[in-house]
Structure 1
């Protein structure tokens, strides 16, 4: 027997209220701000979390989050999206090589910010690209995320060996100048990225929702993060990127992201539109 439409609507309304109360509680208790995240996406992730934590309602989940200190770190795995691969969207990395790297060569030293770095695949991709282009030795990469567990995995630089064929194919399609195998060692079903890559990377906790700019950089790469934010939080994040970028610095976004509807659109020029590469305008 199907549920009465009125009851369905009431259940949805209750879920929405509970969702709002949960993210507000998380903000007040743990200072992680998910209030500006896209509600539909957040709802899907909470529904998965309900099953994982054996809760019938979001209110029950909220009780666990507030009263069991071991639950919240596990909850972060559901609230933050940890999906990545090395050289994901290879044409993006090819565009970096062909369009951005020639300009980066003109700087005596480089700082790059990878925002929302997840478990580190994109950071290491950039580090390998920069090594291949002879720029890594003068580069410092800031890799930030709000998920401490993801940052720990990123810093370890260890990935399942069955993922390597896809990584290798992406790397080749990105215009890679070396064999990807030169940058890792393999053993016991895992690959470990070269430690000499990691010495050029600083992994750090940073929230695009609440934290400020911490350095001036020549390139910001924040891909497939803004799609999970509402419009106001997208604007806040883009404002941080604008403030962090030096004059005529570069911004890279994900394939489904754009500056088009942002209040900051007028402050950037489209550099490689199809690969979501932008350049900050060179005002005074």
Structure 2
């Protein structure tokens, strides 16, 4: 008879083998995500997908590729809102945008865009500030279903009150209702908001730099990574930014303990907005 600690140790081994199989078979790498978070999500996935053990889930995943999108929906967090943490977007508007105005063209990367709320927030902000026409936005995520939802731009009507309040608090210069149509309990955001957007599958874990950016916004993604993976992602952002480009992180994220901290200076410290140092 095994005691609880032995059973938990065996379960941890199963989880690590499952993550290794996921990487080797499908090239999605969650091996260095924070273990407590990944374990909690995999337990939920295993139960809802009807597998008795993590080993059984691993076997199913190896032999049935149709299970992959469902598993990814558990492993990649799809919780967001438009203009989430309005003070962050207000700081972008008031302190970052004046610098961005000096460039003839701009590239903005929303990394880990989930279902698109942060992307549309930035596009609307840039339209209100007169910068949208000269800006190319890159919206990336590892979850294809999330990318599809982002590209569709459809959200539940009951979420719009919060979106609208956040937009107002962020210093919005128009009514959010100018950008969507409502019908049948949903809202559809104007397709013109997507005309300068490139939606792409991209992993912060395994993929490389793909363009030189003036602003990278990656909020509430790094909190799910362990220190090794955080450093990998922050190094990718460092190498992707133009000289004096900007990086925005989530409210609970920081560069402080990263080996790449020296490459950045605090720009708006309280909002976790950093600027790439020259040299």
How far residue 249 of structure 1 moved from its aligned partner, in angstroms, is: 0.3
- Corresponding position: 1:247 with 2:252: no
Distance, in Å, in 1 between the alignment partners of 2:91 and 2:10 is 47
Distance, in Å, in 2 between the alignment partners of 1:82 and 1:67 is 26
Residue equivalent to 1:235: 231
Q: What does the per-residue CA deviation read over 1:70-125, in whole Å, with 9 as the maximum and x for residues that have no partner? A: 11111000111111110001000000001100000000010001100000000000
1:200-215 correspondence to structure 2 within 5 Å:
200-215=196-211
- Corresponding position: 1:56 with 2:56: no
Q: 2:10 aligns with which of 8, 14, 30?
A: 14
1:113-128 correspondence to structure 2 within 5 Å:
113-128=109-124
1:13-32 correspondence to structure 2 within 5 Å:
13-32=9-28
1:79-98 correspondence to structure 2 within 5 Å:
79-98=75-94
- Corresponding position: 1:70 with 2:66: yes
Divergent runs of 4+, >6 A: none
Residue equivalent to 2:178: 182
Distance, in Å, in 1 between the alignment partners of 2:68 and 2:181 is 34
Residue equivalent to 1:196: 192
Distance, in Å, in 1 between the alignment partners of 2:3 and 2:21 is 27
Q: 1:131 aligns with which of 98, 109, 127?
A: 127
Residue equivalent to 2:216: 220
Q: 1:151 aligns with which of 144, 147, 151?
A: 147
Residue equivalent to 2:253: 257
Matched residue of 2:65: which SS? Answer: coil
What stretches of structure 2 of length at least 5 have no aligned partner? none
Distance, in Å, in 2 between the alignment partners of 1:205 and 1:220 is 16
Residue equivalent to 2:97: 101
Matched residue of 2:253: which SS? Answer: coil
Residue equivalent to 1:279: 275
What stretches of structure 1 of length at least 5 have no aligned partner? none
Distance, in Å, in 2 between the alignment partners of 1:146 and 1:61 is 20
Matched residue of 2:70: which SS? Answer: helix
Distance, in Å, in 1 between the alignment partners of 2:125 and 2:20 is 41
Q: What does the per-residue CA deviation read over 1:228-249, in whole Å, with 9 as the maximum and x for residues that have no partner? A: 0011110010011011100000
Report the TM-score when normalising by structure 1: 0.97
Aligned-CA RMSD value: 0.9
Distance, in Å, in 2 between the alignment partners of 1:79 and 1:15 is 17
Distance, in Å, in 1 between the alignment partners of 2:7 and 2:170 is 48
Distance, in Å, in 1 between the alignment partners of 2:166 and 2:208 is 33
